[in-house]
A and B are shown apart, each in its own frame.
Chain A
Amino acid sequence: MEKYLYIALFAPLVGSMFAALFGARPKTVIAGLVPSTLLLISLIASSVLLVHIIGGGEVIHVEMMTWMATGDLYIPFGFVVDQISVTMMMVVTIVSTVVHFYAIGYMDHDKGFNRFFAWLSAFVFSMLILVMSDNYAGLFIGWEGVGLCSWGLIGFWYHKESATWAANEAFIMNRIADLGMLIGIFLIYWNTGTLQYEEAFAAMPGLDNATLTWMGIFLFIGAMGKSAQFPLHTWLADAMEGPTPVSALIHAATMVTAGVYLVIRSNELYSLIPNVGLFIASLGAFVAIFAASMALVNRDIKRVIAYSTLSQLGYMFAAAGLGAYWVALFHLMAHAFFKALLFLGAGNVMHAMDSELDPFKMGGLGKVMKTSMIMMTLASIALAGLFPLAGFFSKDVILEAAFAEHHFIIYTVLLLTAGLTAFYSFRIIALIFHGEERYKLFGFHPHEAYKFMLVAMSPLLILAIIAGSFRTTFFSVVEEILSATEYHIHSHVTYWVMTIGTQLFVILAIAYAYKKYMSRDIKVPDGTSKMENSFKYKLLINQYYIPYFYEEYLVKSYRELSTVLWKQVDMKIVDASVDGIAGIIYGTGEKTRNMQSGNLSTMLKWMVAGTVAMLSLAVVFGLAVRYSDEIKTILSGLGV
């Protein structure tokens, strides 16, 4: 069984290194096919492991080699395949394989084709390390690895200034959060003496509440960066500068869920500190509605989908914060499938419309792109949480959990968000695929994507539809290691009212979206309409002015500080002293060169100088000899 673990883990690495060999060459299809195939192999290996775990097999634990063994610190490169990690492995490998095959078609005309696959497979490798590692250090390695690969992929088109800026923003924000995470890891090591999950969690009930609270808070700060919770959320929307497959893989299914994974993995810690859990849940609920509100008015389809990811991450954190870890994991899994599908569909649309992003310039594309329309619509239905697609089984359970635990504010917020989610998702669908064909005014000639790309997307479609049925299996498998509570609403009546009510609310929202945006007289907004100039609209479309705030008050002042430090401290002090030392040596050499100039007068002067030196030595030694006893007493007094 171990060999399946190693195959699943290292196949993407081999694929990445293979593609990297072609990095500087022009596009060769083999550089795309081999990584994709290797990822398929990884997927198969993960499935074998999944079957093993579901069939009741025992958890596989390997220690590949020792990383650090110094003093009391022992950190191995160890990997574990238990119920949580095998779920994540499946999610990662399924979505990655689909995205790899899709990208062969999407990046067809791109010069950096080979480089793209190198980065992409490297990303998958890092993510697998993250989810398969059995200690916090390995998790951190994977954490940083996905951060790096995300940087490389967001800034893939590095000639574009906006892309490199977005990549740096993502990386730096993650780095800031990583500081918190590192402090959390240090606290864990300091208090429990180990970073291995099992041993650390075993030692935790013995610690006092304050320490545990700090640990939980700091680890969550790291999760906030990676999963783009407020206030470290601005990078996610800007990360849409990268190619669409990147958005599908990284910013829908894998990297942003790493934070949720961290919280789920550390569930034994968070169960001990329910106050922090409540904070996490509240923050998650806030982010959910916050992101949904910004998606209502945005005119960039990828950004809308990005905000919806952010919103769903809020749902996941809300679930995890309330202690419903298995629900969070389940929603993570389902969300990965339909969100990736949504992104890939948007990729098809963009490809057809020459990378145009404004849905108001599209319209009526359903006639030309039938398959994409069906896929995206089904994905949106899943996202909205309509029965019987996947979203219903995961999202509604979160709502139930909130209600059952009597957190009614969180419940209301999440319910509202569900409605908003449905509305904005279908706003986009309606604007793109239905209504009048506005694109003809702008001279676009859309066509459907390549067949093999659609074929590649189909597994996601199927999973988005049927994933809900996995719930009972999932629950039974996962309940062994996650505190699995079935959420019971006390009376059946309340339960049915809630469920049916939610469904109706969502359906109404969808209907309203269709009605509003399918009408014949939608025009491209050009900044003059009354709604565009209203305060609410401006607030939302500028993302509540938070990026502006960061730029003005944080980035500018930091840049000033850096410039000052550079010009005044580094150049004037550090450089000057190093140059000064060299200058002194140089100058001394210049001056003493005169000793050998051949000029007798100078030599005579040097002779006198030497005589003076000798004489002073003689005086000093004479004095020392004369007063040697006194010198000895002074030195012994100083303790020499």
Chain B
Amino acid sequence: MMEIGLNHYLVLSTILFTIGLIGVMRRKNLLLLFFATEILLNSVNIAFAAISHFYGDLTGQMFAFFVIAIAASEVAVGLGLLIVWHKRHSNIDLDALSTMKG
């Protein structure tokens, strides 16, 4: 227990990923859904960094770096779209978002 190995980090990453999944499945407000997505991305970053540390390989950190960049731009574009939707419909409830019915 004392010796922190790769497994510990991976288990932590899994737990955080699961929490993120719960959030994605549960949240009906679009803004809060975005929060859960952030959690997912962060948990993956931890996993990458941990593997990179324990194998002495920089690839993991690079990947995490790019993930952060992408997450930031995703937030920008996502919020922009959300604003446009809000202007039209005045609410951001997920259940009302069903024009893609099939």
B5 at the interface (CB under 8 A from A): no
Could you say which of B21-29, B43-51, B52-60, B74-82 contacts chain A? B21-29
In the complex, chain A residues 570-610 whose Cβ is within 8 Å of any chain B Cβ: 596-601, 604-605, 608
Q: Which residues of B contact A605 (CB under 8 A)?
A: 25
User: Could you write out 24 A-B pairs with CB less than 8 Å apart?
Assistant: A596-B101, A596-B102, A597-B98, A597-B101, A598-B97, A598-B98, A598-B99, A598-B100, A598-B101, A598-B102, A599-B94, A599-B95, A599-B97, A599-B98, A600-B94, A600-B97, A600-B98, A601-B25, A601-B27, A601-B28, A601-B95, A604-B24, A605-B25, A608-B21
> Bound complex: CA of A600 vs CA of B25, how far in Å?
9
B53 to chain A, nearest CB (A): 25
Q: Look across to chain B and name the residue whose beta carbon is closest to the beta carbon of A603.
A: B100
> Bound complex: CA of A365 vs CA of B52, how far in Å?
124
Q: Look across to chain A and name the residue whose beta carbon is closest to the beta carbon of B102.
A: A596
Q: With A608-B21, A608-B25 known to touch, is A601 a contact of B99 (CB < 8 Å)?
A: no
A607 to chain B, nearest CB (A): 8
> Bound complex: CA of A596 vs CA of B102, how far in Å?
5
Q: Which residues of A contact B102 (CB under 8 A)?
A: 596, 598
- Shortest 7 CB-CB distances between A and B: which pairs? A598-B101, A598-B98, A596-B102, A598-B100, A605-B25, A600-B94, A601-B94
> Interface of chain B, helix or strand or loop or mixed?
loop
Q: Which residues of A contact B27 (CB under 8 A)?
A: 601
In the complex, chain A residues 14-32 whose Cβ is within 8 Å of any chain B Cβ: none
> Bound complex: CA of A598 vs CA of B102, how far in Å?
7
> Bound complex: CA of A598 vs CA of B101, how far in Å?
4
Q: Which residues of A contact B98 (CB under 8 A)?
A: 597-600
> Bound complex: CA of A601 vs CA of B97, how far in Å?
10
Q: Which residues of A contact B101 (CB under 8 A)?
A: 596-598
B5 to chain A, nearest CB (A): 21
In the complex, chain B residues 60-102 whose Cβ is within 8 Å of any chain A Cβ: 94-95, 97-102
Q: Which residues of A contact B21 (CB under 8 A)?
A: 608
> Bound complex: CA of A599 vs CA of B27, how far in Å?
12
> Bound complex: CA of A596 vs CA of B98, how far in Å?
10
Q: Look across to chain A and name the residue whose beta carbon is closest to the beta carbon of B25.
A: A605
Convert A126-139 into 0s and 1s, putting 1 for each residue whose CB lies closer than 8 angstroms to a CB of B: 00000000000000
Q: Which residues of B contact A604 (CB under 8 A)?
A: 24-25
> Bound complex: CA of A598 vs CA of B97, how far in Å?
7
> Bound complex: CA of A192 vs CA of B98, how far in Å?
80
> Bound complex: CA of A601 vs CA of B96, how far in Å?
11
> Bound complex: CA of A601 vs CA of B24, how far in Å?
8
Q: Which residues of A contact B94 (CB under 8 A)?
A: 599-601
Convert A374-388 into 0s and 1s, putting 1 for each residue whose CB lies closer than 8 angstroms to a CB of B: 000000000000000
Q: Which residues of B contact A599 (CB under 8 A)?
A: 94-95, 97-98
Q: Which residues of A contact B100 (CB under 8 A)?
A: 598
B101 to chain A, nearest CB (A): 3
Identify 5 new A-B residue pairs, CB closer than 8 A, beyond the known A597-B101, A598-B100. A598-B97, A598-B102, A599-B94, A601-B95, A604-B25
Q: Look across to chain A and name the residue whose beta carbon is closest to the beta carbon of B95.
A: A599
> Bound complex: CA of A234 vs CA of B99, how far in Å?
77
Q: Which residues of A contact B28 (CB under 8 A)?
A: 601
B37 to chain A, nearest CB (A): 10
In the complex, chain A residues 586-640 whose Cβ is within 8 Å of any chain B Cβ: 596-601, 604-605, 608
> Bound complex: CA of A601 vs CA of B22, how far in Å?
11
> Bound complex: CA of A525 vs CA of B45, how far in Å?
112
> Bound complex: CA of A599 vs CA of B97, how far in Å?
7
A517 to chain B, nearest CB (A): 93
Q: Is the CB of A608 within 8 A of B95?
A: no
Q: Is the CB of B99 within 8 A of A608?
A: no
> Bound complex: CA of A599 vs CA of B98, how far in Å?
5
> Bound complex: CA of A216 vs CA of B63, how far in Å?
95
Q: Which residues of B contact A601 (CB under 8 A)?
A: 25, 27-28, 94-95
> Bound complex: CA of A604 vs CA of B24, how far in Å?
7
> Bound complex: CA of A529 vs CA of B89, how far in Å?
102
B99 to chain A, nearest CB (A): 7
B11 to chain A, nearest CB (A): 16
> Bound complex: CA of A604 vs CA of B27, how far in Å?
10
In the complex, chain B residues 2-55 whose Cβ is within 8 Å of any chain A Cβ: 21, 24-25, 27-28
B20 to chain A, nearest CB (A): 10
B21 to chain A, nearest CB (A): 6
Q: Look across to chain B and name the residue whose beta carbon is closest to the beta carbon of A601.
A: B94
> Bound complex: CA of A604 vs CA of B21, how far in Å?
9
> Bound complex: CA of A605 vs CA of B28, how far in Å?
12
A453 to chain B, nearest CB (A): 81
> Bound complex: CA of A522 vs CA of B27, how far in Å?
104
> Bound complex: CA of A600 vs CA of B21, how far in Å?
14
> Bound complex: CA of A486 vs CA of B21, how far in Å?
107
Q: Which residues of A contact B95 (CB under 8 A)?
A: 599, 601
> Bound complex: CA of A199 vs CA of B17, how far in Å?
88
Q: Look across to chain B and name the residue whose beta carbon is closest to the beta carbon of A609.
A: B25
> Bound complex: CA of A598 vs CA of B94, how far in Å?
10
Q: Look across to chain A and name the residue whose beta carbon is closest to the beta carbon of B18.
A: A608
B82 to chain A, nearest CB (A): 13
Q: Which residues of B contact A598 (CB under 8 A)?
A: 97-102
Convert A439-464 into 0s and 1s, putting 1 for each residue whose CB lies closer than 8 angstroms to a CB of B: 00000000000000000000000000
Convert A264-299 into 0s and 1s, putting 1 for each residue whose CB lies closer than 8 angstroms to a CB of B: 000000000000000000000000000000000000
B83 to chain A, nearest CB (A): 18
> Bound complex: CA of A487 vs CA of B17, how far in Å?
110
> Bound complex: CA of A149 vs CA of B28, how far in Å?
76
A603 to chain B, nearest CB (A): 9
> Bound complex: CA of A598 vs CA of B100, how far in Å?
5
B17 to chain A, nearest CB (A): 10
Q: Look across to chain A and name the residue whose beta carbon is closest to the beta carbon of B36.
A: A604
B57 to chain A, nearest CB (A): 22
> Bound complex: CA of A605 vs CA of B24, how far in Å?
8
Q: Which residues of A contact B25 (CB under 8 A)?
A: 601, 604-605, 608
Q: Which residues of B contact A596 (CB under 8 A)?
A: 101-102
> Bound complex: CA of A476 vs CA of B95, how far in Å?
104
In the complex, chain A residues 398-454 whose Cβ is within 8 Å of any chain B Cβ: none
> Bound complex: CA of A357 vs CA of B8, how far in Å?
105
> Bound complex: CA of A608 vs CA of B102, how far in Å?
20
B19 to chain A, nearest CB (A): 13
> Bound complex: CA of A626 vs CA of B10, how far in Å?
22
